[in-house]
Amino acid sequence: MLAALIILPLLGAVVTWLIPSDRLRPIVLSVFAFGHLGITLRLLIATPPPSAGGWFNLDALGKIVLLSTSVLFFFCAIYSIGYLAYRLERSNRVLCMGLLICLSAASMVTITHHLGLLWVALETTTISMTPLIYFNRNARSIEATWKYLLICSVGVALALIGIYFLAYSTIVARVEPSLLLDDLIRDADKLSSGWVHAAFVFLLVGFGSKMGLAPLHTWKPDAYGESPGLVGAMLAGGLVNLAFLSLLRVYQLCLATREILFFQNALVVMGLISMLFAAIFMARQADFKRMLAYSSVEHVGIMAVALGLGGKAIFGALFHILANGLTKGVLFLSSGNIHRSYNSKSTDHVRGVLRRLPWSGGIFLAGFIAITGSPPFAPFISEFTVVSSAFIQGRAVVGALFLVSLGIIFIGMALTVLPMVMGEAPADSETTSYRDTIWTVAPPLALLVLVFVLGVWIPDPLMTLLRDASALLEVRQ
Amino acid sequence: MANSIIHIFLALVMPPLLLGVIAKTKAAFAGRVGAPFLQPYYDILRLLHKGSVFSTTTTWIFRAGPIVTLATTAVAAMLIPFGAHPSPFSFQGDMILYAYLFALGRFFTMAAALDTGSSFEGMGSAREATYSCLAEPTLFFALITLSRLSGSYSLSPMLVNISFGVWLNNGAALLMLVGGMFIILLAENCRIPFDDPTTHLELTMIHEVMVLDHSGPALAIIHYAAALKLFVLGAFFVHLALPYATGNPYLDWGLFIISMLELAVVIGIVESVMARLRLIRIPQLLVAATILAAFSTLLVIR
Amino acid sequence: MHSALQALPDPAILAITAALITGFSGIPGIFLRRPGAGQIIAAILTLLSALVGIPAALALLFAKSTATYILNWGLPFGSCELAIDPLSSFFLIPIFLVAAAGSLFALGYWPAAEHRSTECGLTFFYGILASSMAILVTARNGVFFLMVWEIMALSAYFLLVTEHESEGVRRAGIVYLIATHTGSAALYVLFSLLAAQSGSFLLPAAGSLSALPPAAMVIAVATFVGFGAKAGIMPFHIWLPSAHANAPSHVSAMMSGVMLKMGLYGIFRTLTFFHDPPLLWGAVLTVAGISSALLGIAFAVAQRDMKRLLACSSIENIGIITTGLGVAMMGVSSHNAPLAYLGMAGALLHILNHSFFKPLLFLGSGVIIHAAGTREMNLMGGLAKGMPRAALLFLVGSVAICGIPPLNGFVSEFLLYFGFFYQLQAPSLVYLVLLAPLLALVGGLAVVAFTKLYSSVFLGTPRSHGAAHPHEAGPAMLLPMGLFALLCLLVGLLPQQALRLVAPAITSFMPQMSTAVNAAEYGALLGRISLMALILIMLAAAVTLFWWWRLGSARVNSAPTWGCGYQRGTSRIQYGATSFSELAVSVFNGIIRQRITRPKLSGLFPGPADCDDRPTETVLENVIAPVFTFAGVSFAFLRRLQHGQMHVYMIYIFVTLFILMLWAH
Amino acid sequence: MITIADQFLVLVLLINFVVLGTSRLIFSIRAVAVQGVILGILPALIHPFSWHLVGIISMILITKGVVIPLLLNRAVRSAEIKREVEPFLGYVPTLLLGAVFTALSFGFAGKLPMLAEHQNYMFVPASIATLMTGFLILTTRRKAISQVLGYLILENGIFIFGLLLAEAMPIMVEAGALLDLLVGTFVMGIVINHISREFSSLDTSRLTSLKEE
């Protein structure tokens, strides 16, 4: 069953490669996405035992990320049917293939407990996304692709060093050398602390740059800004979570090695820096896709702070994986519609969206409200959990900084989004034939509904899942 | 009971007499014989028998103005004690009602004035609005002082309480209060130096210009209401300035009437020796009154 | 009457159901194709819920008991309790009342036939706003409270930007949204700290927290900022004037009449948690309140936009209420029962009164806008002839809001005044009595503001073509106004009954205090006031009869107003709104700030020129805007970090690595 | 055997300096290729014979020694550029920095808690020094090709460290990692070709249109 999770998308990749028709391909994509979603749900209900040797083990943390990725991917696939039908001027073979390969690699990241394999899978996602960013085939997108590829590769390379250091620490400690998470955790207190420390730093920087923590985020606005809406959605809602999952693995290890305090503080500091960075860059942002990219920086910051705070905030971090992923899907898909319809990303030209694209505009507005942490949407739950636990733990300064940057971000986003969706379209704005259709509106709408439901009611199974997951990250004496 | 009847009777009958006395005093100062004391009564009666002209611009507000003014002033007259005698209607907190009744009258007077759509009336009501809300705090400082001195929350006790004994103890405070309240008395009743009822240059008037377009019975009502207002505020002032009281009720009524007439004479003297202030000076004088009253308050509550 | 009400099946359930019905009232309209059908259904549903909800609220109020329910929700913030105690039910009354009146008014004011695109959303969010407020006052779980609070704020925002094509509306919307969100941030802190104090997100029981620890101080500050921003207490009022001015009128009525009170409710509720709060809290509230009242009404005097004037007077009234609350708190702290009782009674009663006359005036302004097509008072005039009924109702509102007898505004202010005077004999805090003259000044300025409003709109002759041919409003619009006017009159004439309405809420607010005073005494006082009011009315009637008798026996003819000797007098030479308040503005210059642009006139025969003066938003323009510009500039500087040079991005990565390495070892 | 390995590592370090010092792209590509070949041989020296070792070695040799250099050469040809002109930092300073970093890394490696049998070999210092070289090239060179080379050298540095823990790294993972590097560089090559078509140059200082102003 676990194997199917990996193989099915690969199969799909092959099929999409063989299919000649650009019209047919997205439908096949959606079919495989649906299959993947089905398998995912099946696995969540009936979880298989860890594979022999413990290489593959779908634990609670993996489940959460797998679920959010699979759901998001499914809706992106549906969206691609309508979207790519409009973009028939160029072949979407590579796009569909890349998406499916990325999905397979992502599934691998979620189910493996072997750090080396984790790294391989993660690097695969990075590479498989590269051609997708270049989908628009213009100077800006090639630049974005180049920066994305090089910075992420270097970052992940650093992560590889970190993993090597861990491995070497086992050798130095003369325990049975292994990169299996469970073995490492078992022998944690024997490992030589010097190497482990260094490893943590390298892993933090490596996965952090993949995740987009400031100041390692520099590739993000370019990549998100220049790639098509659904690729942006996968990057911001999917890949970010994978990197975060890798960070969670490291966190588990830290917990075992009692080195946690440094790691937590580092996370809090980097998270706050990321939020402040995002706040600064979002104010007066004239390109709404770049704005979304910075919002993604903000939200990885939130997750990092939550993880660093520990305690109850862990729940917030884990729930934010879902909340942020789905909401980012809403925003990027609807912004893709807006971008296509105005053929511009500049807020000078994009005005009065509610008039031209009532549905996309409304969804985008709602997504803005959701992502800035207003009820009744899911991000509120996680963000408030973080704030309150910060104050309850007596770390008022962290809480205050957190709130301040949230406030600035809200103001910045409001000043960008509200003039965009409201008012009248300016006379000089380009008019295209692109309008809301059921295929391009339904997916973001469905995601929005999900975000809303999770904002008012967390189903019991999900709640237990989150509880188990946060149990894995509790400090144990 | 008898006292209440006398009270109401005085309130009904006496007010125009004060105007007559004031006019007579001014005439005496000017070396003229002047109109008889009862001239105001004649005027009012004559006006009551005249017909009326209503501007086509106006609505029922224009008609309501005089009525409400008179009614409110009359109720105020029911609350204020005359001389040593408590008022017919007296309850805790009545002084607040007393102060706010005038506001009601003012609201309708101004509205009625503006109803005519004439710019002169507009001017008048703008001035009235501004100056009266400057006068408001002074009255309240006075009430605070009196309430503090008498230890009660009702006009009758707090005014009747004033006596020479109180003057001996709180001379300074009461002196300032008298000063402040005299200014307010003149201002509220649009006497010189604030306003000159007898001038015929509308640009300079406050109260008179607001009632330019009223005629006949309406004007009569307005004149009577104005006289009554002077009477009511005067009664208030007399308590502060001339707190005579003999034990004998009838003598007290007499004393009250006499002191009201004294007040009228004093006003007359002031009007004959002073000139009208320029409009821009008026606020300063009113603020001065407020400051006086405020100081008296501070003196008694410190 | 009470027994009859208590015979109802559990009133608390009824009230909550009513709230939910209101919330769903807008939904049918979304699916109905025919324009207007949804609106009518919404109006009917809202009216129904009011008919159910208000009696239920009254029953709960007089039952003096607290009904508690546990809502089963899937969120990890402890159990979600709903409870209705007298304080909640007291606030429920205006919510249901104004909501119903507004939705009825909307039928005439915002007919779906003319506003196809906007009506649906308007009706929908209107219902959400109403029901969120109704649920808010029952919420007892901090997080649930916060969620409902945000929903309320957001739905208000969407109502406000209904006409988002106009730049002004968008600006107002953004200012409102930013202000309310900043307030919410303070509330995040508040509820987190409360949870830290009490150990759960359930709101603490009354008097269960101590005010001594420093956290309590932070809680107090957060409360003041968070809820004050919603209530519009100075200096958090910046969003209020433009928001109220730009919203559709029945929405303004809802916001000003009820939504501001939710901020006050928050303050009330939070203060109940603490036993013996420090004197400072009451003092701060009092100072903030009286200055809001004074500055608010001063701003109002200077306004030219009718609805802005009303909005500023909302600031004033909120200020008066806050003063009352502050005084009451000082009474609680100094164990001075009468002061506490009078202050609280005045505050609560004024909340009720303000939710009667302010909606009346805002609905009236809607009628006026329909008739004159503008909000600019200098362009109106003489509307009373075209719309006598609306004019009469509006007059009632204007007199009531000035706090003049015999209407309801006076009653609440009377209680406050009496509380101040009461201090004269009190052992401590004698200086509170100095609030009385200040309040008197506020009253005086209010008279200026509202004579200005009423006269320049309804009286005189029209100053523009738009205002020349007004038409009377339809029953759908007049009926709600009439209802409010009637309530104003009733409370004014039977204040002792109104006091009985308030008493239970006071009891629940400060149980130990209210036993120490004998409320009957104050009831008797108010009885005397109602007697005097009746006498006043009878006297007025007598004078009227007398005058009619005189007029009957004399010649009455009519002529145009004397043109002051001008040869060609136009209606433009009347005293307009601005010219009326000009003197007051010049006297109170400094408190009232105006930007006057005077033309340069030269030569013997200068050409046509115009002089423009408009009131300035002091705080917004001189404090907030500069901060934003500064932030913008400094951010623009920092944004250079993202300069596109990739090799420098690489340096970022390695520098981060290096720093972390140093930190780790 | 391991002593021989050390000699090879010295070679690796020398190649680092060559790449730091030269401006001719083709030459530095070849240098990196040689470095890759050396790294390919090294495992054979330190690990006992086994078939999967053979597999790995052959793979390394093919990828690092043949495929990647070919790719880069193609890119250079298509872009018709010969040398790296005016780098952000001149050659002499870069060389000096490289020397300093190498020295530092030797010092640093001495402090690390090493396994006794690794104590007196220069795997760790060599790998750190190579890492640093890669970083230097990444941050100082203008041409996209040079940056790819920098990335490759960085990878080589990591690879050297990886040699120490063959028993911890299973063959599968090793292969996967290598495959990723190959594909990654492959994609980079493609991207470079696109860049040269788009901008008719490989000058990355032209790739700065995406920024905040």
Single-letter amino acid code for the residue at C647: H
Residue D18 tokens, joined: 């060559």
**In chain D, what is the straight-line distance between the N-terminal and C-terminal CA atoms, in Å?**
57
Question: Cβ separation of C642 and A281 shorter than 8 Å?
Answer: yes
Residues of chain D positioned with their CB less than 8 A from the CB of A117: 172-173, 176
Q: Is A200 helix (H, G, I), strand (E, B) or coil?
A: helix
Query: How many angstroms away from the CA of D175 is the closest CA of chain A?
Result: 9
Query: How much of chain A, in percent, has pLDDT values that exceed 90?
Result: 72
- Say how many CB pairs under 8 Å bridge C and D: 32
Q: Does D88 touch chain C (CB under 8 A)?
A: yes
Query: How many angstroms away from the CA of C658 is the closest CA of chain D?
Result: 12
Q: Check residue D99 and give its pLDDT.
A: 92
On whether residue A201 sits in a domain, the answer given is no
Using CB atoms, pick whichever of C417, C433, C447 lies closest to residue B301.
C433
Q: Check residue C181 and give its pLDDT.
A: 92
On whether residue A194 sits in a domain, the answer given is no
pLDDT digit string, tens, across residues C228-264: 999 999 889 999 999 999 999 999 999 999 999 999 9
Contact, C495 vs C345, CB < 8 A? no
On whether residue D210 sits in a domain, the answer given is no
Chain C: residue nearest A263 by CA?
Answer: C664
**Region B19-44 average pLDDT:** 93
Tell me the CA distances in angstroms from D198 to A127, A143, D193, one per residue in order.
21, 10, 9
Q: Check residue C58 and give its pLDDT.
A: 93
Q: Which domain range does residue C425 map to?
A: 338-547
Residues of chain D positioned with their CB less than 8 A from the CB of A129: none
Task: Answer with the residue of higher pLDDT: D206 or A273.
Answer: A273
Q: How many domains does chain D have?
A: 1
Single-letter amino acid code for the residue at A127: I
Residue C139 scores a pLDDT above 90: yes
Q: Which domain range does residue A356 map to?
A: 266-477
Question: Cβ separation of B217 and C405 shorter than 8 Å?
Answer: no
Q: What is the mean pLDDT of chain B?
A: 91
Using CB atoms, pick whichever of A146, A168, A177 lies closest to residue D191.
A146
Residues of chain D positioned with their CB less than 8 A from the CB of C650: 135, 138-139
Q: Which of residues 108-147 of A touch D (CB under 8 A)?
A: 114, 116-117, 119-120, 123-124, 126-127, 130-131, 134, 139-140, 142-147
For residue C556, the cross-strand partners are: B52
Closest CA to D194 of D74, D89, D111: D74
Residues of chain C positioned with their CB less than 8 A from the CB of D205: 645
∠ CA D92-D97-D103 to the nearest 5 degrees? 130
Categorize the per-residue pLDDT at C1 as very low, low, confident or very high, splitting at 50, 70 and 90: very low
Query: How many angstroms away from the CA of A143 is the closest CA of chain D?
Result: 6
Q: Which of residues 48-77 of C touch A (CB under 8 A)?
A: 73-76
Q: What is the mean pLDDT of chain A?
A: 92
**Region B51-64 average pLDDT:** 90
| CA distance linking residue C19 with residue A210, whole number of Å | 48
| CA distance linking residue C378 with residue C28, whole number of Å | 42
Q: Check residue B219 and give its pLDDT.
A: 93
Categorize the per-residue pLDDT at C66 as very low, low, confident or very high, splitting at 50, 70 and 90: confident
Disruptive mutation site among A109, A138, A140, A164 for chain D (greatest number of D CBs within 10 Å): A164
Residue A64 tokens, joined: 């959460």
| CA distance linking residue C648 with residue D6, whole number of Å | 34
Q: Which of residues 122-141 of D touch C (CB under 8 A)?
A: 135, 138-141
Query: How many angstroms away from the CA of C626 is the closest CA of chain D?
Result: 22
On whether residue C475 sits in a domain, the answer given is yes
| CA distance linking residue C653 with residue A209, whole number of Å | 8
Residues of chain C positioned with their CB less than 8 A from the CB of B144: 421, 424, 433-434, 436-437
Residue D77 scores a pLDDT above 90: no
Q: Is A131 helix (H, G, I), strand (E, B) or coil?
A: helix
Categorize the per-residue pLDDT at B200 as very low, low, confident or very high, splitting at 50, 70 and 90: low
Query: How much of chain D, in percent, has pLDDT values that exceed 70?
Result: 91
Residue B129 scores a pLDDT above 60: yes
Residue D144 tokens, joined: 């996209």
Q: Does C191 touch chain A (CB under 8 A)?
A: yes
pLDDT digit string, tens, across residues A31-76: 999 999 999 999 999 888 888 788 899 999 999 999 999 999 999 9
| CA distance linking residue C397 with residue B34, whole number of Å | 47
| CA distance linking residue C114 with residue C135, whole number of Å | 32
Query: How many angstroms away from the CA of D7 is the closest CA of chain A?
Result: 23
Categorize the per-residue pLDDT at D1 as very low, low, confident or very high, splitting at 50, 70 and 90: low
Disruptive mutation site among D111, D138, D149, D158 for chain C (greatest number of C CBs within 10 Å): D138
For the entire predicted model, the pTM comes to 0.94
Rama region for C403: left / alpha / beta (φ>0; ψ in -120 to 50; rest): left
> Do the two chains B and A touch, given a threshold of 8 Å on CB pairs and at least 3 pairs?
no
Question: Cβ separation of A150 and D184 shorter than 8 Å?
Answer: no
Question: Cβ separation of A146 and D204 shorter than 8 Å?
Answer: yes
Query: How many angstroms away from the CA of A309 is the closest CA of chain D?
Result: 31
| CA distance linking residue B186 with residue B288, whole number of Å | 14
Contact, C300 vs C309, CB < 8 A? yes
Q: Check residue D180 and give its pLDDT.
A: 80
pLDDT digit string, tens, across residues A156-203: 899 999 998 888 888 888 888 888 888 888 888 888 888 888 899 999
**Region A296-324 average pLDDT:** 95
DSSP string, C80-118: EEEEE-HHHHHHHHHHHHHHHHHHHHHHHHS-TTT-HHH
Residues of chain D positioned with their CB less than 8 A from the CB of A119: 177
Q: Check residue A231 and give its pLDDT.
A: 94
Residue C104 scores a pLDDT above 90: yes
For tokens 């500064």, the residue is C630
∠ CA D152-D156-D161 to the nearest 5 degrees? 150
Residues of chain C positioned with their CB less than 8 A from the CB of B143: 421, 436
Question: Cβ separation of A150 and D147 shorter than 8 Å?
Answer: yes
pLDDT digit string, tens, across residues D110-127: 777 777 777 777 888 899
Q: Does A280 touch chain C (CB under 8 A)?
A: yes
DSSP string, C380-402: ---HHHH-HHHHHHHHHHHHHHT
| CA distance linking residue C472 with residue C458, whole number of Å | 12
Contact, B57 vs C382, CB < 8 A? yes
**Region C403-411 average pLDDT:** 92
Contact, A416 vs A338, CB < 8 A? no
The dihedral sign for the CA sequence C637, C638, C643, C648: positive
Query: How many angstroms away from the CA of D64 is the closest CA of chain C?
Result: 24
Boundary of a domain, candidates C515, C547, C579: C547
Alpha carbon D119 to its chain's center: 24
Categorize the per-residue pLDDT at C514 as very low, low, confident or very high, splitting at 50, 70 and 90: low
Q: Where are the alpha helices (DSSP H) in D22-142?
A: 25-46, 51-60, 68-79, 91-111, 123-140
Q: Is C364 exposed, middle or buried (0-12, 13-18, 19+ CB in 10 A)?
A: buried
Q: Check residue A289 and give its pLDDT.
A: 93
Question: Cβ separation of C642 and D135 shorter than 8 Å?
Answer: no
Q: For residue B246, how many other CB atoms are within 10 A of its CB?
A: 12
Categorize the per-residue pLDDT at C214 as very low, low, confident or very high, splitting at 50, 70 and 90: confident
On whether residue C384 sits in a domain, the answer given is yes
Residue D186 tokens, joined: 């492959």
pLDDT digit string, tens, across residues A88-115: 888 889 999 999 999 999 999 999 999 9
Boundary of a domain, candidates C487, C518, C547: C547
What is the per-residue burial (b if ≥16 Cβ within 10 Å, else e) of B33-50? ebeebeebbebbeebbeb
Query: How many angstroms away from the CA of C631 is the closest CA of chain D?
Result: 16
| CA distance linking residue B247 with residue C93, whole number of Å | 55
Question: Cβ separation of A399 and C164 shorter than 8 Å?
Answer: no
The dihedral sign for the CA sequence A8, A14, A20, A26: positive
Chain D: residue nearest C650 by CA?
Answer: D139
| CA distance linking residue C245 with residue A318, whole number of Å | 44
pLDDT digit string, tens, across residues C358-372: 999 999 999 999 988
Q: Is D125 exposed, middle or buried (0-12, 13-18, 19+ CB in 10 A)?
A: buried
Lowest mean pLDDT among A165-179, B27-41, B197-211: B197-211
**Region A300-307 average pLDDT:** 96
Residue A196 tokens, joined: 């482990």
Chain D: residue nearest C647 by CA?
Answer: D139
Query: How many angstroms away from the CA of C275 is the closest CA of chain A?
Result: 22
On whether residue D24 sits in a domain, the answer given is yes
| CA distance linking residue C16 with residue C80, whole number of Å | 15
Query: How many angstroms away from the CA of C644 is the closest CA of chain D?
Result: 4
Is the peptide bond prior to B193 cis by the omega test (within 30 degrees of 0)? yes
Q: Check residue C71 and give its pLDDT.
A: 85
- Say how many CB pairs under 8 Å bridge A and C: 147
The residues, ordered by sequence, that sit 6+ positions from B242 with a Cβ below 8 Å of its Cβ are B259, B262, B263
Q: Determine the length of chain C.
A: 665
Closest CA to B128 of B150, B162, B105: B105
Looking at chain D, which subunits does it touch, using at least 3 CB pairs closer than 8 Å as the criterion? A, C
Residues of chain D positioned with their CB less than 8 A from the CB of C644: 207-211
Residues of chain C positioned with their CB less than 8 A from the CB of D139: 647-648, 650-651, 654
Boundary of a domain, candidates C529, C547, C565: C547
| CA distance linking residue D197 with residue C398, whole number of Å | 76
On whether residue A300 sits in a domain, the answer given is yes
Categorize the per-residue pLDDT at C6 as very low, low, confident or very high, splitting at 50, 70 and 90: low
Are residue C423 and residue C541 in the same domain, yes or no? Answer: yes
Residue C3 scores a pLDDT above 70: no
For tokens 């009303």, the residue is C310
Query: How much of chain B, in percent, has pLDDT values that exceed 70?
Result: 98
Q: Check residue A272 and give its pLDDT.
A: 96
Disruptive mutation site among D139, D148, D151 for chain C (greatest number of C CBs within 10 Å): D139
Q: How many domains does chain C have?
A: 2
Residue A209 scores a pLDDT above 90: yes
Residue B277 tokens, joined: 């202030």
Q: Check residue B202 and give its pLDDT.
A: 66
Residue B205 scores a pLDDT above 50: yes
Q: How many domains does chain A have?
A: 1
